[in-house]
Amino acid sequence: MDGKSRQPVLWAVALGVAATVAYLAFLGWDRKKDVDPVTGAETGPYEAWQVVGLGLVVAAMAFVAGRQHQVVPALVGIPAGLTLAFVVAAVTSPDADLWLVGAVLVALGSAAGTALVALIGRSTTSRSSA
């Protein structure tokens, strides 16, 4: 395998690792649900800023990958990294009942979002180089 043919594999691995690290940085440390003292309703464990922050970081990674003509590696690496991090966090949680459903939703949602943003990034290079 020469350097050119290894490049997509390296992109996929790097994006997968980066997505996993981003997930752990934003969501991996927060496992405590918040209980409203008045109503007793549980929320969380994540705050909105955590999810938005992760989404922005992952979107930036997908956009850059698209601009670098690495859409397919982004479609492999980013969802794989996010799903793996989610599965590890969910399975080790005390509330691990529906982790498989969550994993499927994370995989599908992150793949759809990655595809959209990476293709937008890819389209910006086509216009700027024309």
pTM summary value: 0.86
In the prediction, which pLDDT does 130 show?
47
Cα pseudo-dihedral 36, 42, 48, 49, rounded to 10: 70
What is the 3 state secondary structure string of 37-97? CCCCCEECCCCHHHHHHHHHHHHHHHHHHHHCCCHHHHHHHHHHHHHHHHHHHHHCCCCCC
Counted domains in the chain: 1
The residue ranges of the chain whose pLDDT is under 50 are 130
- 19 lies in which domain range? 3-129
In the prediction, which pLDDT does 3 show?
64
What is the rounded CA–CA span in Å between residue 73 and residue 8? Answer: 6
